Amino acid sequence: MDKLRRGFSTRAIRSGQDADPATGSTIPPIYQTATYTLDAIGATKGYDYSRSINPTRRALETQLAALENGAFGVAFASGMAACFASASMLRSGDHIVAPRDIYGGTYRLFSGVLSRYNIETTYVDMADLAATRKALRPNTKLIWIETPSNPMMVLTDIEAIVALRQPGQLTVADNTFCSPFFQRPLDLGVDIVVHSTTKYIAGHSDLIGGILVTNDADINKEMVWHQNAIGAVPGPQDAFLTMRGAKTLALRMREHERNATAVAHFLEKRSDVSAVYYPGLATHPGHELAKRQMSGFGGILSFRPRGGAARAYEIARKTGIFQLATSLGGVESLICSPEVMTHASMPEPVRKELGITGDLLRLSVGVEDAEDLIADLAGALDAVPAQPARASS
Ligand SMILES: Cc1ncc(COP(=O)(O)O)c(C=O)c1O
């Protein structure tokens, strides 16, 4: 398939999805096998053991690489396993520069795990290019990008960060929030794209997975080596479900965005909401950058109802269609408290500095009917007034 001449959905549906050569099965089968029988010693058909290689996983890797305009995809058992694989390029004594507003699990990986191997991380406000440049050291080997960030929806200018990269430094972009439908960091010069495929790519909140995509053959070789050496691979069932989900990514992303835009406008007009963080709003500080760098604004937003943490907790309990659950990117709408759910692994002072406090709620806006989503939020906000009503005399 010529990736440059095919549209996004054609690639989603056809890349890596050729009929099975063994049987003609139109849909790539779930090769539920640990091992492969040889005709003679040394005579493999390219497959020897499913930790190293599996045809269903290969089909997924080819499909997702095509969606990111990349040459190589390497699939993992989770987004965190994929993040760890990209960081495995580092050695003791190396240094990472990462955004201070970063997914809590990635923060835990860098500050809790890699620090044990003498790999230090400096967290910076990546909207501040001068500060980011200043954070780079001679031993900096990895510049991590996450845009829009989780949960504050802060945008990073990918091309500007890539321009800071010195020889020997790697740039990795976590593209989970946008999905490749709305943003393609490899086209902007990034070395590796990482996804939690748990989210939009698989899209149905029914599995955990991750992927790395690159155009660099040497990086791919290292990642494939790591995939086999560490063994955090997705099973064939999960690879199949991810692949099936990814076929409808464009359709879903358009709906997620339409609904998120409607919800953001609704919340913005509420006097009992003090802030709405969504890059599609003209008031968002990254709105112009979002228009330039992304082809859509995505389906996630955070907001701050007035009335503090107590009111926010009550609102999260009172919604019905928005289910109170961690994660994002599925067809169903979710609401969560980043402070105690997704970002609990971040130290409190850091969370406070970023604005990840008890009064912040994050929404993953699904593809249900927009009117129902708005009615659900309106009902929950109205049920918990920001100020107790004055008793009438
Ligand atoms: C932006 C981002 N990156 C990475 C991850 C980790 O992915 P997983 O939960 O699949 O390990 C998440 C999970 O929420 C995430 O939101």
The dihedrals phi and psi of 73, each to the nearest 5 degrees, come to -125, 140
What integer pLDDT is reported at residue 345 of this predicted model?
83
Asked if the model's pLDDT at residue 2 lies above 70, the reply is no
Asked if the model's pLDDT at residue 361 lies above 80, the reply is yes
Which residue, judged by its Cα, is nearest atom 8 of ligand 1?
A: 79
State the chain's mean pLDDT as an integer: 95
Pocket probe for ligand 1: among 109, 150, 175, 183, the residue whose CB has the most ligand atoms within 8 Å is: 150
Q: At what angle do helices 370-383 and 249-269 cross, to 10 degrees?
A: 40
The dihedrals phi and psi of 2, each to the nearest 5 degrees, come to -85, 105
pLDDT band of 346, cuts 50, 70, 90: confident
What integer pLDDT is reported at residue 383 of this predicted model?
97
For 314-333, give one letter per residue: b (16+ CB within 10 A) or e: ebbebbebbbbeebbbbbeb
Half-sphere exposure of 154 (CA within 13 A, CB side): 18
CB within 8 A of 337, min separation 6: which ones?
312, 313, 316, 358, 360, 361, 362
Which residue, judged by its Cα, is nearest atom 7 of ligand 1?
A: 79
pLDDT band of 5, cuts 50, 70, 90: low
Any ligand 1 atom below 6 A from CB of 208: yes
What integer pLDDT is reported at residue 231 of this predicted model?
98
Cα 168 to Cα 140, 142, 171, 187, 227: the distances in Å are: 9, 9, 10, 20, 22
Any ligand 1 atom below 6 A from CB of 238: no
| DSSP secondary structure letters along 69-111 | T-SEEEEESSHHHHHHHHHTT--TT-EEEEESS--HHHHHIII
pLDDT tens digits, 175-227: 999 999 999 999 999 999 999 999 999 999 999 999 999 999 999 999 999 99
Any ligand 1 atom below 6 A from CB of 329: no
Percentage, residues of the chain above pLDDT 70 = 97
What is the Å distance from ligand 1's center to 109 Cα? 11
Any ligand 1 atom below 6 A from CB of 215: no
Task: State the closest ligand 1 atom to the C-alpha of 82, by its place in the atom list counted from 1.
Answer: 11
Task: State the closest ligand 1 atom to the C-alpha of 197, by its place in the atom list counted from 1.
Answer: 10
What integer pLDDT is reported at residue 392 of this predicted model?
44
**Under 8 Å between Cβ of 97 and 115:** no
Which residue, judged by its Cα, is nearest atom 12 of ligand 1?
A: 196
What integer pLDDT is reported at residue 52 of this predicted model?
98
What is the Å distance from ligand 1's center to 270 Cα? 31
Residues with a known catalytic role: 51, 103, 174, 199
**Under 8 Å between Cβ of 158 and 173:** yes
Pocket probe for ligand 1: among 76, 78, 80, the residue whose CB has the most ligand atoms within 8 Å is: 80
Place of tokens 């779930």: 30
pLDDT tens digits, 259-291: 999 999 999 999 999 999 999 999 999 999 999
Asked if the model's pLDDT at residue 391 lies above 80, the reply is no
What integer pLDDT is reported at residue 393 of this predicted model?
39
Pocket probe for ligand 1: among 150, 196, 233, 343, the residue whose CB has the most ligand atoms within 8 Å is: 196
pTM to 2 decimal places: 0.96
For 11-27, give one letter per residue: b (16+ CB within 10 A) or e: bbbebbbeeeeeeeeee
Of 326, 304, 317, the C-alpha closest to 380 is: 317
What is the Å distance from ligand 1's center to 196 Cα? 5
| DSSP secondary structure letters along 160-196 | HHHHHPPTT-EEEEE-TTTHHHH--GGGGT-SEEEEE
Cis amide linkage into residue 151, ω under 30° from 0: yes
Asked if the model's pLDDT at residue 251 lies above 70, the reply is yes
Any ligand 1 atom below 6 A from CB of 149: no
What integer pLDDT is reported at residue 388 of this predicted model?
58
Which residue, judged by its Cα, is nearest atom 6 of ligand 1?
A: 79
What integer pLDDT is reported at residue 387 of this predicted model?
77
Percentage, residues of the chain above pLDDT 90 = 94
What is the Å distance from ligand 1's center to 176 Cα? 7
User: What's the rounded mean pLDDT across residues 230-252?
Assistant: 98
Any ligand 1 atom below 6 A from CB of 242: no
What is the Å distance from ligand 1's center to 167 Cα? 29
Of 104, 191, 108, the C-alpha closest to 144 is: 191
Asked if the model's pLDDT at residue 46 lies above 90, the reply is yes
SS3 142: strand
Any ligand 1 atom below 6 A from CB of 147: no
User: What's the rounded mean pLDDT across residues 14-29?
Assistant: 96
